[in-house]
Amino acid sequence: MKWGLTIEEAVKFHGHLGPWLMIGYRAGAIARDKLSPKDFHELHCTVRVPNKVPYSCSIDGVQASASCTLGKGNIVVEDSSDFEFVFVNATTKESVKLKLRRDVITELLSKSIEEAVKYVAGLGDWEIFELS
Ligand SMILES: [Zn+2]
């Protein structure tokens, strides 16, 4: 892959491995898979999460995997309790809206960071997100 960071590089970029970083990273990876961008400018993302840690850690995950970055202006963050990641391929106009499942949020909030990392790592993409 010519662009986008590995999860290990994402951890270096963000500073630590946490469940919300993983969730954003997974959302960006799904979007790349579904929307097949040809380069690092093509995807645009709107992240709708509460604008505070740990939820906002997911923003760094999206930046790492999807290369939707603040510097390039192809990511927008909206303070929201919707827990949604909306991706658009600017060329094809195709989009995908990934909504974090409520039961996942509940589980994450009941666990330590270490437990939550293991929990997210054990979930399939569609156990984390639903298309909305
Ligand atoms: Zn974090």
23 CA from centroid of ligand 1 (Å): 11
> What pTM did the predictor assign?
0.96
Please report, for the chain, the start and end positions of each structural domain, with discontinuous segments joined by +: 7-131
Residue written as token pair 């963050």: 77
Q: How far is the CA of 92 from the centre of ligand 1 (A)?
A: 32
| Residue 84, φ and ψ in degrees, nearest 5 | -125, 150
Percent of the chain scored above 90 by pLDDT? 97
Separation of CA 93 and ligand 1 centre (Å)? 31
Residues above pLDDT 70, as percent of the chain: 99
**Sheet of 129-131, strand order:** 75-79, 43-49, 84-89, 95-100, 129-131
pLDDT tens, position by position, 24-38:
999 999 999 999 999
Name the nearest CA neighbour of 75 among 7, 130, 27, 117.
27
CATH among 3.30.70.890, 3.20.20.140, 3.40.50.300, 3.30.1330.130 for 7-131: 3.30.1330.130
Calculate how far, in angstroms, residue 2's C-alpha sits from the geometric centre of ligand 1.
25
46 CA to centre of ligand 1 in angstroms: 19
